[in-house]
C-alpha cells in the first residue's frame, strides 16, 4: 500500500475502507427492523438537528416572553428549563415536539409504540446534557435514545 492509499483510507474512515473490502453494513435502521425509507424509517441527522434548532429557538422565545422586562440574560438562563419542560411534556403526550412535527419526526419505542412518560423524561434530561446526544452509532441513534430504548423516525 502506498502513502496515497494510506492517507485516503485515513481520511475516509474505517467504514469506507471496510466497505471497499466487501463488508456490507446495510442501510441505516436495518438492524432495528426499520424500513429503508418512508414512514417509520430512521430520521436523518439533518432533520433531527433542524428540529432541535426549532425547539431551542421556541424555548428561547417563550423564556424571553415570560419575562415582563425582557431581560435577555435571565431569559437565557430560563430557556433550558423551558426547553426541558416543553419537550418532556410534548414527547410524553404526543411523541413529537413542535420542531419534530415541522420536520415530520416522531419519537417511538423500538417496537413502534409511543414512548412512556419515564422514557420521555429521561431522554429529555440526557438531551439537555448534550454529550449523550452528540455520540451516535452507525444508525445515527444517539446515546440518549439508546439509554431509554427509543428511536426517532419519520412520520
Q: Where are the alpha helices (DSSP H) in the chain?
A: 3-12, 14-20, 45-66, 72-94, 98-102, 117-128, 131-134, 143-148
**Burial profile 33-60: b = 16 or more Cβ within 10 angstroms, e = fewer:** ebeeeeebebbeeebbebbbebbbebbb
- At 4, the pLDDT band (50, 70, 90 cuts) reads low
Q: What's the whole-number average pLDDT of the chain?
A: 86
Question: What's the whole-number mean pLDDT along residues 27-42?
Answer: 86
Give the domain ranges of the chain: 28-154
pLDDT for residue 133 is more than 70: yes
Of residues 86 and 10, more confidence is placed in 86
pLDDT for residue 143 is more than 70: yes
- At 138, the pLDDT band (50, 70, 90 cuts) reads confident
DSSP-based three-state secondary structure for 40: coil
Distance CA 30, CA 87 (A): 28
Question: What's the whole-number mean pLDDT along residues 55-80?
Answer: 84
In sequence order, what are the residues at sequence separation of 6 or more whose Cβ sits closer than 8 angstroms to the Cβ of residue 11?
Answer: none
pLDDT at 23: 64
91-120 tens-digit pLDDT: 999 999 999 999 999 999 999 999 999 999
114-124 tens-digit pLDDT: 999 999 999 99
- 23-32, 72-81, 91-100: which range is least confident on average? 23-32
Amino acid at each position: 500500500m502506498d502513502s496515497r492509499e494510506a492517507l485516503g483510507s485515513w481520511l475516509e474512515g474505517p467504514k469506507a475502507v471496510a466497505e471497499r473490502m466487501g463488508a456490507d453494513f446495510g442501510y441505516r435502521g436495518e438492524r432495528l427492523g426499520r424500513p429503508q425509507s418512508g414512514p417509520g424509517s430512521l430520521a436523518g441527522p439533518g432533520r433531527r438537528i433542524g428540529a432541535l434548532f426549532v425547539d431551542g429557538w421556541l424555548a428561547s422565545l417563550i423564556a424571553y416572553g415570560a419575562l415582563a422586562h425582557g431581560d435577555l440574560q435571565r431569559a437565557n438562563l430560563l430557556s433550558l428549563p423551558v426547553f426541558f419542560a416543553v419537550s418532556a411534556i410534548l414527547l410524553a403526550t404526543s411523541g413529537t415536539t413542535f420542531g419534530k412535527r415541522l420536520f415530520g419526526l416522531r419519537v417511538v419505542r423500538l417496537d413502534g409504540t409511543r414512548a412512556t412518560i419515564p422514557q420521555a423524561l429521561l431522554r429529555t434530561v440526557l438531551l439537555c446534557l448534550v454529550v449523550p446526544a452528540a455520540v451516535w452509532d452507525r444508525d445515527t441513534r444517539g446515546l440518549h435514545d439508546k439509554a431509554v430504548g427509543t428511536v426517532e423516525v419519520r412520520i
